[in-house]
Amino acid sequence: MPLTRLPEVTALVRNHLVREVAAGFPTLTRIPSSGVIRFLDYFATLPEPDRAALLDSRAKGGALQFFPPRDAYDAALHHANHDPAILRYRAALHSGPLAMGLRYQDLRMIKATLGDPMSMAMMAQTRSTLAFVPRDDFPPNLVPDQDPKNLKPAKAPLLRKLIDAAFKSMFAGSREKRPGGELRYAGVYQGTPLTLGFIFTNRGPQLLYDIKIPDDSHTVFCFRFTYEGLWGAGTGWDYLTEQNAEAAIACLCELIVASVHLRNNIYALLQRA
């Protein structure tokens, strides 16, 4: 796919992003990820011109993900390192309120920190030097019980069980366990073949996923794609609890559907002269 088609693909991706924003982020707000939470909190602080600029930036970055790396690598690298909206976003994530607070930590780290007196002492010392009060509240739709001591992070056996059940009803496919614990599901959704990969980790994100859609015509590249990556909103799900796990996997199925539709819309666009 030649980069001369980038403006068209960017416009299509931007329309998708704008619809999500206009609807009040009904999809992103349900994703159990501290990276997504930080993105949403950052976006909420921006004046309208800066919101538009960030959407322009994310649309171009997202569009470049669908181009073969050999064609898009240099453009994607330049965009990531020079776009003003991306640079402002990145700076905000590494300093100030978005870099502190239990709200922006993974749940297992929160549990470990609260259970370790030395970590608590170090956190208190750091906070005493700040000019702002870090946020320790959780998004109530993800964690209704705001007492962090009551957090029950979801574990891999529960997530595997929910994913197996969801994908059996979503598409008839195969399941393969690979070395290192990675699970890969292969199937077809509404005529589109796809492969889904999952890794369950012992620290940091509880769940890493990716979507791969093959294309023998080499028209659209879709490899290790994630919906959050389209927004530049972090990698991995680290806000999974025993209480929200079922809803989270239902959301994951919706993200897969949305990703397939977006990819197929790009494919259809590029088939037109």
pLDDT digits (tens, 9 = 90+) for 25-79: 999 999 999 999 999 999 999 999 999 999 999 999 999 999 998 889 999 999 9
* Residue 25 backbone zone (phi > 0: left; psi -120 to 50: alpha; other: beta): left
Q: Which helix (H) or strand (E) holds 186?
A: strand 183-189
Global pTM value? 0.95
* Rg over CA atoms, the chain: 20
* pLDDT in the model for residue 245: 98
How many domains does the chain contain in total? 1
Measured at the CA of 234, the angle between CA 214 and CA 136, to 5 degrees, comes to 150
Mean pLDDT, rounded, of the chain: 93
Render pLDDT for 124-160 as a digit per residue (tens, 0 to 9).
Answer: 999 999 999 999 999 999 999 999 989 999 999 999 9
pLDDT at 254 over 90: yes
Q: In terms of residue numbers, what domain contains 210?
A: 3-271
CA separation for the pair 259, 264 (Å, rounded): 9
